[in-house]
A and B are shown apart, each in its own frame.
Chain A
Amino acid sequence: MPQRRLSKEEFLAWVGHMLRENRVIAPIRSGERTFLQEIGVPSEVDLEVGRPTNSLKEFFFPATETLFHIRRGKKAVRMELPEVGRPQVLLLVRPCDAAALTSMDALFLGEPADFYWSERRKNTAIVGLACLTVPTPECFCTTVGGSPIGTENMDIVLYRDGAGYIAESLTERGETLLTPASGSALEEAFVPRAPELPTFPCPSMEEWLRIFNDDYWMRLGERCLGCKICTYNCPTCYCFDIRDRGIGGYVERLRAWDACTSKHYSIEASGHDPRPTRGARLRNRFYHKYYYFPWRYNGTLLCSGCGRCVAQCPVNIDLTEILEEVAVRSQEREEAKQG
């Protein structure tokens, strides 16, 4: 389909149209931060969005959700599923966040597929926003195989064009969604050019393996706070906890986010903790992303280079620095071995 040029007014009118039949999630400015959240009116959309504080994962995998209710009836015990998968549109999604869904799909859509993720994924349209300029200093998507103008998992891609956008539908769903938008067709196609990003080494699994026991991880752990900022706002961290709670006459099974960086996460039933220090826990986060996950899922990394953990860590634990350290230390070990 030909690309279409939408002025700011035409874009907002289109958002208004989508709001009639969909839950629309878009970046909203609040103080100094921008959050992805459900909007009520088009004017709420933060058109200047760089990278929202939260990732898009919560709209597929909410921080907390009811998996099912169990109710005792007169004759039998009934299990009730909540309603999942109301049609929704995610607006102005950056390529890194959209690409992150590929890793999450590998996990949640692998057999047996996760019902909740899969229902929401089916019923969500993604309107992406390509990065024609580098949105934030912490961006490193190209290091992990992404592209600032990548369109993976998007139904429509938008390119910033003055105060408005150039829109291009990429899927049938995108085409349907874009149909009611006004705007004029572009006679000559706009060909986006990717901006230059800083690049960092992306060590191989072998390199990661070599330095598992390096003191570096324990030294990093010394300054790590052991909070969950990096995992909860990460588009690809998916660890969760499941628990039942009884509420007036029925039982609810809950699933809520959890994080390997927190102290109680890895304690086993015996009381033993295989990751007893902040350093060991922090190391697990990075190895999960760059070793365990690609090992399990055909080389797919569990990181899309969005830079949130880099930007938000209060003690400057910087993944791009870690990638460099892993490469250097691994090289040193290899050289030492070969003498």
Chain B
Amino acid sequence: MNVTDDLRRIARELLESGRVARVIGYEEGRRGQVRPLVARTVEEAGRLLFDERCAHNLALYLLDFKPQGGEEPPAVAVVLKPCDARALNVLVLENQVRRERVYAIGVACPGIPGKQACATCTDRVPPTFDILLGTPSEAPAASGLPDDLARLLALSPEERRRFWAEHFRRCIRCYACRQVCPMCYCEVCIAEKLDPPWESIAIAPSENEFYHVLRAYHLIGRCIECGECERVCPMGIPVFLYQRYMAEEVRKTFSFRAGMDAETPAPFMTFRKEELEKP
């Protein structure tokens, strides 16, 4: 069975019937890679494809179809791997996207070869979809912490501090990790607020560290572990490493993984009186 053929057929039907105005998917890039495509026409739908190069998390582009000025945005279809579908769930939970305006074309995911986040991922089927394409492969047994995280945790706090200082020193704050993250949708990121300037415009180790720590904390219980942040980093900073650690802590402590459904709020986004610490 060919996922691409099915995808093109469904996309054409969706666009032709007027059920959606856009199909967000992947197309062949110029140099052997694939790239996102927001298809508008039946002809453009003919360029869509899905294969194991499709690393991008397309849920990000749903944020371009938020209601603006009371105007209802067009309904869209989007191709989602399991982690991407988790992103959709979080966006729905956080009222950024209305689920009924999205036609989710789920794809069974074999894991993207060479992508860091996929190395220990066991999800093969998206947690939400309107149609599922492809045959899910057998999920591998959970393999625990990825090697790089295990190695990092084995270091002393001082060694870990040095590890991150060395990486953050190289950061140029291009904000690619933030821009590619479907969960980073703040209108104005605190790292770029000018009044008051929480963070200086300086691209320097201390400011870089502030930015990364801040972003890591803002994503606790919200990160859906797609690892796009690390994939896009031009400077080779293992950005996903700390997100992965945070996600692991949340899973251990609260038995919670972000975006497995669109109803369960994240641990740090809920407040229960009974959780108040007794004096």
Chain A residues within 8 Å of B, Cβ to Cβ? 30-33, 35, 53-54, 63-64, 137-138, 219, 222-223, 225-229, 231-233, 241, 243, 245, 254, 256-259, 262, 264, 310, 312, 314-316, 318, 320-321
Contacts and interface: CB of A to CB of B under 8 A. Distances in A.
B31 A226 contact: no
A315 B202 contact: no
Contact of B180 (A30, A35, A54, A227): A227
A245 B200 contact: yes
Interface in B25-71: 29-31, 33-38, 56, 60-61, 64
A243 B200 contact: yes
A233 B234 contact: yes
A219 B37 CA distance: 9
A232 B173 CA distance: 9
A225 B236 contact: no
Nearest to B178: A227
A154 B92 CA distance: 56
Contacts of B1: none
Given A32-B236, A223-B38, A243 B175 contact: no
Contacts of A310: 31
A256 B191 CA distance: 14
Nearest to A258: B201
Nearest to A245: B200
Interface residues of B, number: 36
B234 A243 contact: no
B50 to A, nearest CB: 16
B164 to A, nearest CB: 15
Contact of B176 (A53, A223, A245, A314): A314
B35 A315 contact: yes
A33 B235 contact: yes
A199 to B, nearest CB: 16
Contacts of A320: 30
Query: Does more than half of chain B's interface fall in helix, strand or loop, or is it mixed?
Result: loop
Given A264-B188, A264-B192, A314-B231, A228 B174 contact: yes
B203 interface: yes
Going nearest first, the 8 A-B pairs with the smallest beta carbon separation are A227-B176, A316-B35, A314-B232, A63-B203, A228-B174, A316-B29, A227-B179, A225-B179
Interface in B173-201: 173-176, 178-180, 188, 192, 194, 197, 200-201
Nearest to B207: A64
Given A227-B232, A256-B202, 14 more contacts: A31-B236, A53-B235, A53-B236, A54-B235, A63-B203, A219-B38, A225-B232, A227-B178, A228-B175, A229-B176, A231-B174, A232-B174, A241-B201, A318-B29
Contact of B30 (A53, A314, A318): A318
20 contacts: A31-B236, A33-B236, A54-B172, A63-B203, A64-B204, A222-B64, A223-B36, A223-B61, A225-B60, A227-B178, A228-B172, A229-B234, A231-B174, A233-B174, A243-B200, A315-B56, A316-B31, A318-B29, A318-B31, A321-B30
A261 to B, nearest CB: 9
B44 to A, nearest CB: 10
B200 A254 contact: yes
B192 A226 contact: no
Nearest to A221: B64
Contacts of B33: 316
